[in-house]
Amino acid sequence: MRTHYCGELNKEYIDQTVDLCGWVNRRRDHGGVIFLDLRDKQGIAQIIINPEQQETFSIAEGVRSEFVLRVTGQVIARSEGMTNEKISSGQIEVVATNIEILNNSKPIPFQIDSIDTSEEVRLKYRYLDLRREEMQSKLRLRSKVTHFMRDFMDRNDFLDIETPFLTKATPEGARDYLVPSRTHPGEFFALPQSPQLFKQLLMMSGFERYYQIVKCFRDEDLRADRQPEFTQLDVETSFMSEDEIMSMMEEMTREMFKSVIDVDLPSKYPVISYQEAMNLYGVDRPDMRIPMKMVDMDEIMKGVDFKVFSGPANDNASRVAALKIPGGASISRKNIDKYTKYVGIYGAKGLAYIKLNEDGPSSPILKFLGDEVISQIISNTEAVTGDIIFFGADKTKIVNESLGNLREKIANDLKIYSSDWEPIWVVDFPMFDTNSDGSLSAVHHPFTAPSVSSEELINNPEAALSKAYDLVINGSEIGGGSIRIHQTEMQQTVLKILGINEEDAQEKFGFLLNALEYGCPPHGGIAFGLDRIVMIMTGSESIRDVIAFPKTQTAACMLTDAPAEVPKKILRELNIKTIK
């Protein structure tokens, strides 16, 4: 139906007759001449309809935005001073000799190129929202990313193997989406949170290198960078160490960023331990573009009379830390109050500060500290005139989360960044978290290998580190993985520490435990969040902007009105009764 795309036309096509197909982006009537901006997947071409072409002109008079047209016409150069350098076809226009309306359109609920449309409306009319150049560009980039991933995996001898969607619920940290079985009354499948166990079984099957770009499902509370269904590049290898896996994935991400968005990542990514990341940045996914670090104040504050500081400083489960903001003395009291409210989200009871003004330090807490302590604070934080120092004093987790997230928020507000792109590996994660009741839970999943022997693990599980590694870029964790447990004794030890007895272990994942006994090779892997990678590559604020048909923050689809009730007949067939 077409000979050319609108966006490919340029001066080289002048005097040629072309057939174009697309949507009417805008229609303008200028003194008897009608102008149409015709849009297709490659761009926009300006169409001129002169009144001398009576039949064509008559058709054009009835055309409105988002009508679908086929236009035949001659390419001519735009008049001097009328070119548009913002579009690739901006030096030419097409004089129409024939217009065919392939389909008309109702008045649209929002202008396609509008930037003020609410997300609710955009998601309800997603098929219209996806016509926008911004969305088209993001999804084209997403396609390039997945194409690159497949090509890289293929070049490195990985096999693309599919794993089941209907499987068994396993403990992986979030709630499962359950699917009732009609043929097994009262029993349920679970949609996979990841293909974790199946990819480990593939290593036991001798494939050695597996990958899959796969949908995963987690029924958890949502936020800007989470969805109930998400896509990941899933990778597993045999006979490779942590360093070897990390090196290969470094190579993949480095080549991918260069190929897709022409960004040069470092030739070698820095590595930081989990503990160091928490001490310096308060989070396990530090944004290394931000030239600010948290500084421990425990030793300085142990002897002060100010119990807000001395209490946590003398408590092993607590911490006092300072965060210097370069040039932050200009932050107004109103904004300090705003930041105080912000850290309250993470449990902080307040936000003490010291401003370093031209006439010296100022703060409501100066009178509680004394000149010597204030001098030590300024020296240890390397603060200078014009800076502000914020303090956190509470349980270690609260201080880390509040100051760590405050660091990122202020950096974003004040644009305090030292570079555009900064990757970093975070390693040496703890094996276990301690729950409020004293029990332990796996930091990653119960199949992650520890860095210690079974005996050491049993004797001191809280201190044990794991062979896990996360790749963080610009403060976003884009990939996480680990070496897996490949010996039965170690796997049973970990399950026992987690409070899973032998009977429960066999019931939940006996198939994995049995497989371990038949010559399981050492193996490990990693999974990359595709949605999150594309989000940071495109500079989007939400992964909903890089997914064709996303869910809202309540895990609903505005377009299809899902989830929805189903007829009682179907529920009866599934042996399900709903209670409202």
CA-nearest of 469, 466, 426 to 244 is 469
Residues 365 and 477 in one domain: no
Residues 267 and 298 in one domain: no
Question: For residue 328, what pLDDT band results from cuts at 50, 70 and 90?
Answer: very high
Residue 135 has pLDDT above 80, yes or no: yes
Residues 94 and 198 in one domain: no
CA–CA gap between residue 111 and residue 575 (Å, rounded): 47
Last residue in a domain, options 395, 418, 441: 418
- Lowest-pLDDT choice from 287-296, 385-394, 493-502: 493-502
Q: What does the pLDDT average to over 67-84? A: 94
Last residue in a domain, options 103, 118, 145: 103
Residue 116 has pLDDT above 90, yes or no: no
User: Angle 166-167-169 (CA atoms, 0-180°, nearest 5)?
Assistant: 130
The whole domain housing 471 covers 135-271+425-547
CA-nearest of 487, 508, 564 to 204 is 487
What tens digit of pLDDT does each residue of 285-323 get? 999 999 999 999 999 999 999 999 999 999 999 999 999
Is residue 231 classed as helix, strand or coil in its secondary structure? strand
- Lowest-pLDDT choice from 17-21, 283-287, 319-323, 502-506: 502-506
Last residue in a domain, options 398, 418, 438: 418
DSSP state of 485: P
CATH number of the domain residue 98 falls in: 2.40.50.140
What tens digit of pLDDT does each residue of 425-482 get? 999 999 999 988 989 999 999 999 999 999 999 999 999 999 999 999 999 999 999 9
**Any domain includes 388:** yes
Residues 320 and 400 in one domain: yes
**Any domain includes 283:** no
**Any domain includes 240:** yes
Is residue 91 classed as helix, strand or coil in its secondary structure? coil
Residue 224 has pLDDT above 80, yes or no: no
Mean pLDDT of the chain: 95
CA–CA gap between residue 153 and residue 135 (Å, rounded): 27
**Any domain includes 322:** yes
Q: What does the pLDDT average to over 384-397? A: 97
Residues 409 and 457 in one domain: no
Written as six digits, the tokens of 263 are: 């960004």
DSSP state of 565: -
The total of other beta-carbon atoms located within 10 Å of residue 430's CB is 20
- Lowest-pLDDT choice from 69-78, 110-119, 271-280, 472-481: 110-119
CATH number of the domain residue 465 falls in: 3.30.930.10
**Any domain includes 46:** yes
Q: What is the pLDDT of residue 80?
A: 86
CATH number of the domain residue 389 falls in: 3.30.1360.30
What tens digit of pLDDT does each residue of 161-217 get? 999 999 988 765 688 999 999 999 999 999 999 999 999 999 999 999 999 999 999
Residues 397 and 500 in one domain: no
What tens digit of pLDDT does each residue of 249-291 get? 999 999 999 999 999 999 999 999 999 999 999 999 999 999 9
The total of other beta-carbon atoms located within 10 Å of residue 422's CB is 20
Residues 256 and 156 in one domain: yes
Task: Give every CB contact of residue 546 below 8 A, 6+ residues apart in sequence.
Answer: 138, 139, 142, 531, 534, 535, 538, 540
Residues 166 and 211 in one domain: yes
Instruction: Say what the alpha-carbon torsion angle 222, 225, 228, 230 is, to the nearest 10 degrees.
Output: -170
Q: What is the pLDDT of residue 225?
A: 66
Distance of CA 356 to the CA centre of its chain: 37
**Residue matched to tokens 């057939």:** 19
Q: What does the pLDDT average to over 203-232? A: 90
What tens digit of pLDDT does each residue of 355-380 get? 999 999 999 999 999 999 999 999 99
**Any domain includes 560:** no
**Any domain includes 580:** no
Hey, which residues does 210 pair with through a beta bridge? Answer: 159, 236
Residues 188 and 235 in one domain: yes
Residues 305 and 205 in one domain: no
Residue 223 has pLDDT above 80, yes or no: no
Q: What is the pLDDT of residue 339?
A: 98
Q: What is the pLDDT of residue 171?
A: 62
Q: Which residue has the higher pLDDT, 233 or 435?
A: 233
Q: What does the pLDDT average to over 234-254? A: 98
CA–CA gap between residue 56 and residue 58 (Å, rounded): 5
Residues 34 and 140 in one domain: no
> Number of folded domains in the chain?
3
**Any domain includes 201:** yes
Q: What is the pLDDT of residue 395?
A: 97
Residues 394 and 463 in one domain: no
Contact indicator for 215, 229 with CB cutoff of 8 Å: yes
